[in-house]
Amino acid sequence: MKRWLPLILFLVLVGFFAKGLFLNPREVPSPLIGRAAPAFTLPLVGDPARTFSPADMKGRVWLLNVWAPWCVSCRQEHPVLMQIAASGRVPIVGLNWKDKDREAQALLAQRGSPYVAVPDDVSGKVGIDYGVTGTPETYVIDRQGIIRMKHIGPIGPEVWKDKFEPKLKELGA
């Protein structure tokens, strides 16, 4: 019966490959989910005298949106973020990541800001603490300051409806 072994092994492999076609090998889950959002204190864009820290948001469910002025995909999700901000559904904090050319303030002034605060992470060090590998990336953080979800890529209407809304409801927002 071992003459059937090669065929059986192969068919098992085909099954895995078929499943693999629906997966993205580059989409890496975050190890931070279920852990406390790493603490930091950063000056705000346009108002360096004031600072922001995740502790400021304790007691509320909020989104940390990692973005950059030079990021093209971020502009795609900007209108969606503006809608969310306007509806008051959940506060969004925009972490300005590696903005060496200091373009964030002008850009937000021009296009409008969906953010309640814009901490300035020029060096990218806070990004490293959050496991950021590119922009945009968005974290959902709960009332106790625990990271509950991470979304990589721009937020479109479907993503908001299918991924974010259920999570926000779950967290009681």
Partner 1 sequence: MIPEIGHFALIVALLVALTQAILPLWGAQTGNARLIAVARPAAQGQFVFVAIAFGCLAWSFLQNDFSVENVAKNSYSQLPPMYRFTAAWGSHEGSMLLWTLILAFWTTAVSVFSRHLPDDMVARVIGIMGLISIGFLGFLLTTSNPFLRLIPAAPEGNDLNPLLQDPGMVFHPPTLYMGYVGFSVAFAFAIAALLSGKLDAAWARWSRPWTTVAWAFLTTGITMGSWWAYNELGWGGWWFWDPTENASFMPWLAGTALIHSLAVTEKRGAFKAWTVLLALIAFSLSLLGTFLVRSGVLSSVHAFATDPARGAFILGFLAIVIGGSLALFAWRAPRMLTGGRFAWFSREAFLLANNVILLAALGSVLLGTLYPLLMDALGLGKISVGPPYFNSVFVPVMAPALFLLGIGPLTRWKGDSLPDIARRLKWAFAVAVASALLLPLVVAGFKPWASIGVFFAVWIAAGVVVGLRERIRNQRGALVARLAALPRGYWGMQMAHLGLAIGVAGIAIVANYQSERDVRMNVNDHAELAGYTFTFRGHSEYDGPNYRAAKGIVEVSRNGKKLFTLYPEKRIYNASGMAMTEAAIHPDLWRDVYVAMGEPIDDKGAWIIRLFHKPLVNWLWIGGLLMAAGGFMAASDRRYRIALREARAKGAALAGAAA
Partner 2 sequence: MKSLLFCLALVLSAPLFAGEAAPVGDDPAIEQRMVNLASDLRCLVCQNESLAGSHAELAEDLRREIREQMKAGKSDKEVIEYLTNRYGDFVLYKPPFKPVTYLLWLGPLIFLGAGVGAWYWVLRKRRATPPPAVDPDQLAAAAKLLDEKQ
| Binding stretches for partner 1 (CB under 8 A) | 3-4, 6-7, 10-11, 13-14, 16-29
Q: Which is nearer to partner 1, 21 or 49 (CB)?
A: 21
Q: CA 64 to CA 62: how far, in whole Å?
A: 7
Closest approach, Cβ 45 to partner 2, in A, equals: 20
Q: CB atoms < 10 A from the CB of 145, how many?
A: 18
Q: Which is nearer to partner 1, 112 or 131 (CB)?
A: 131
Q: Which does 109 bind (CB under 5 to 8 A by kind): partner 2, partner 1, none?
A: none
Closest approach, Cβ 86 to partner 2, in A, equals: 33
* Lookup: tokens for 171: 């967290």
| Binding stretches for partner 2 (CB under 8 A) | 28-32, 98, 123-125, 128-131, 133-134
Q: Which does 50 bind (CB under 5 to 8 A by kind): partner 1, partner 2, none?
A: none
Q: Which is nearer to partner 2, 56 or 129 (CB)?
A: 129
Closest approach, Cβ 80 to partner 2, in A, equals: 24
DSSP 3-state of 22: coil
Q: CA 68 to CA 32: how far, in whole Å?
A: 22
Q: In which residue are the tokens 């809608």 written?
A: 83
Rg (CA), the chain: 20
DSSP 3-state of 100: coil
Tell me how long the chain is.
Answer: 173
Q: Which does 39 bind (CB under 5 to 8 A by kind): partner 2, partner 1, none?
A: none
Q: CA 98 to CA 68: how far, in whole Å?
A: 7
Q: Which is nearer to partner 1, 10 or 58 (CB)?
A: 10
